[in-house]
Amino acid sequence: MAAALENELEVDNEDYYSLLNVRREATQEELKSSYRRLCMLYHPDKHRDPELKRQAEQLFTNVHQAYEVLSDPQSRAIYDIFGKKGLEVEGWEVVERKRTPAEIREEYERLQRERDERRLQQRTNPKGTISVGIDATDLFDRYEEDFEDVPGGGFPHIEINRMHISQSIEAPLTTSDTAVLSGSLSTHNGNGGGNINLCVRRVTSARGWGELEFGAGDIRGPLFGMKVFRNVTARCFVTAQWGLQFSSRGVRPSATTMMARHLDQNTMGYLQWRWGSQSAMTTSIVRDTKTSHFTLALQLGVPHSYLMMSYQYKFQDEDQTKVKGSIKTGFFGTVVEYGAERKISRHSVLAATVSIGVPQGVSLKIRLNRASQTYLFPIHLTDQILPSAVFYATVGPLAIYLAVQKLIIMPYVRAHKEQELEKQKEDSASEIARRKQEAEAAVLLMQESVKRIIDAEESKMGLIILNAWYGKFVSDNSQRRERAKVIDVTVPLQCLVKDSKLILTEASKAGLPGFYDPCVGEEKSLKLLYQFRGAMHQVLSGDTEPLRIPKQSHRIGSET
């Protein structure tokens, strides 16, 4: 059974709740009432025509299967967790029948953890960073007299003055032990070096872990370190780290300890003490909410002491846009930074930050995160604070981004989505054809029942469905496409009318009897024109929105 769960279980297009038109929290009485009604509609003995009888048998079987699953607490719990295909997985028969739905969910979570552990054995989780430092000060700090006699002196000189590359991979040894191998190479103005590190981490319990680190490099020499983490309480944890750095000048010991505590649901407080070549005491408060991130930090130490405050606002949009600003002041001077970041694709995030400081000058930092890889491009523009440098550092990246977004990224994403949609349609073509055939058969079987319902409703001026369409509705300029992407569902909806009421639950309407999905992967809605008490009503409902009619708010005014 665990092996069968290795493959991700995908929920079948046929939604049992939608087929019976009941809520996901439906009681046994609600299930039984809906089941009886559909059985009366689809019972094969009601039809003499051989073809209609065959179609009725198929639909009757579908309804019976849905009721069988949802009326059994065990099967329903399995179906709720991972759909129809979950019922086909071998091994559920070993689960005791007396188990409650909660116990079945616990069993699934246990199997899920086992699957995650097996996946862990095969995962290396590679992470990498590439940083390319660019010196562009010649753009703003040029002195014209220096270029009078130099060939090509009319062009500013831009050079790459530093590079850094680092990479790490994880190798799970056991379910509690992990080895991390990392290395880096750096160069600055023609001088460089590298190092390699091996870290072995062991999770000792749910409350803590420890790790040992060994390293070597051509600059720093051998390194030995140790780090431990421990949850002291549910709201507080501590970390401690010790290290010995060996070099030609001797041994340099270092130590760092940090305590953190939840001040409230969204706020953390940190207190850190660091001893070694750069000893310091740091305290900070970090507040992170759904819409903002705020940090306040104070450090007292040698050689640097500073006060820093930063704020980030998170827009609640599809691209996860964030804008941020910070100020940092200390013995080294003052630095003000502002910038933004935005998700440009499913796995990529682009960020740009302008840094203005004394005596650092003006810099532009561009960062691209692609999955677990990070690419950094710090560009030093000027050693002085020049308005022109600040203006171009702010406006330039924004203008380039908008142009690239409109001319390259958006067309690419649009084309990629269209390709995925077409592939999805091709893969599900046979299933959609089957569902369409079943829906058309269901409509034929509903005809007699619908006539009786309409006669009964007309006699008391009740609810009459005049027209109903389901699918994707597009602009008036694309009438042909609109007709191709909607289906007529007047008969199926009239068949669901009971006591002058129509109630649709919060589920995709594609699973209702007589419905099918006319536009796979696209947003759909239901448009209804109905008559109640002799007055015309109209409503447009989303695919998964619950609907209850008639309603006074749907009534069409006399002037419409």
Rounded Cα distance between 24 and 506, Å, is 8
Share of the chain above pLDDT 90, in %: 39
The first and second tokens of residue 151, run together, are 């060939």
Interval 322-327 mean pLDDT? 96
For residue 217, what pLDDT band results from cuts at 50, 70 and 90? confident
What confidence score (pLDDT) does residue 477 get? 53
Which residues are CB-neighbours of 398 under 8 A, at least 6 positions away?
A: 352
Q: In this predicted structure, what is the pLDDT of residue 5?
A: 39
Which residue's structure tokens are 């500013």? 156
State residue 79's pLDDT score.
79
Domain spans of the chain?
16-89+100-118, 426-554
Pairing relationship of beta strands 127-135 and 373-382 according to DSSP bridges: parallel
Q: What is the pLDDT of residue 48?
A: 74
Output the pLDDT for position 366. 95
For residue 189, name the pLDDT band (cuts at 50, 70, 90): confident
Predicted local distance difference test score (pLDDT) of residue 513: 85
Q: Mean per-residue pLDDT for 446-457?
A: 89
Instruction: Give the model confidence (pLDDT) of 14-64 as tens digits.
Output: 678 888 888 888 888 888 888 888 887 777 777 777 777 777 887 888 888
Which burial class, exposed, middle or buried, applies to 507 when counting CB atoms under 10 A from its CB (0-12, 13-18, 19+)? buried
Task: Evaluate the CA torsion angle 425, 429, 433, 435 in order and state its sign.
Answer: negative
Q: At residue 286, does pLDDT exceed 50? A: yes
Band (pLDDT 50/70/90 cuts) for residue 323 is: very high
What is residue 23's predicted lDDT score, i.e. its pLDDT? 82
The hierarchical CATH code for the domain 16-89+100-118 is 1.10.287.110
Q: DSSP secondary-structure letter at 523? A: -
- Per-residue model confidence (pLDDT) at position 557: 73
Q: Which of 42-46, 303-307, 309-313, 409-413 comes out lowest in average pLDDT?
A: 42-46
Let me know if 406 is exposed, middle or buried by CB neighbors in 10 A (0-12, 13-18, 19+): exposed
Q: Using pLDDT thresholds of 50, 70 and 90, give the confidence band for residue 153.
A: low
Most confident of 83-87, 419-423, 536-540: 536-540
Residue 104 corresponds to which tokens in the numbers above? 């079945």
Provide the pLDDT for residue 113.
Answer: 66
Most confident of 138-142, 361-365, 399-403: 361-365
pLDDT over 90 (residue 283): yes
pLDDT of residue 102: 65
Nearest to 71 by CA among 20, 110, 122, 10: 20
Higher pLDDT, residue 152 or 9: 152
Contact 71, 28 (CB under 8 A): yes
Looking at the predicted structure, is the pLDDT value of residue 91 above 50? no
pTM of this structure: 0.61
Residue 543, amino acid: D
CB 338 within 8 A of CB 324: yes
| CA 472/CA 252 separation, integer angstroms | 69
CA distance 488 to 492: 9
Mean pLDDT of 147-162: 69
Confidence of residue 475 (pLDDT cuts 50, 70, 90): low
pLDDT score of 306 more than 70 = yes
Look at residues 464, 462, 465, 484 and name the one whose alpha carbon lies nearest to residue 473.
Answer: 484
Per-residue confidence (pLDDT) for residue 511, from 0 to 100: 83
Query: What's the pLDDT band for 415 if we cut at 50, 70, 90?
Result: confident
Higher-scoring residue by pLDDT: 31, 295? 295
Q: Please give the structure tokens belonging to residue 372.
A: 């677990």
Say how far apart CA 467 and CA 449 lie, in whole Å: 17
Name which residue leads in pLDDT, 54 or 262.
262
Cα gap 526→469, rounded to integer Å: 6
Q: Measuring CA to CA, how many Å separate 536 from each of 330, 423, 470?
A: 73, 41, 19
Identify whether 73 is preceded by a cis peptide bond (ω within 30 of 0). Answer: no
Average pLDDT over residues 241-252: 87
Mind listing the pLDDT tens digit for each residue in 484-498?
588 999 999 998 888
Displacement of CA 20 from its chain's centroid (Å): 31
pLDDT, tens digit, 9 for 90 and up, residues 267-278? 999 999 999 888
Average pLDDT, the chain: 83
Return the top range by mean pLDDT from 84-88, 150-154, 188-192, 363-367. Answer: 363-367
Query: What was the pLDDT predicted at 4?
Result: 41
**Residue 110's pLDDT band (boundaries 50, 70, 90)?**
low
**What is residue 276's three-state secondary structure?**
coil
At 13, is the pLDDT very low, low, confident or very high (cuts 50, 70, 90)? Answer: very low
Nearest CA-CA partner of 518 in 442, 433, 427, 446: 433
* C-beta of residue 257 within 8 angstroms of C-beta of residue 272: yes
Identify the pLDDT of residue 44.
78
Region for 28 from its dihedrals, namely left if φ exceeds 0, alpha if ψ lies in -120 to 50, beta otherwise? alpha
Query: What's the pLDDT band for 3 if we cut at 50, 70, 90?
Result: very low
Query: What is the average pLDDT across 140-158?
Result: 62
Which of 171-175, 395-399, 443-447 is the most confident on average? Answer: 395-399
Q: Range with the lowest mean pLDDT among 107-111, 321-325, 509-513? A: 107-111
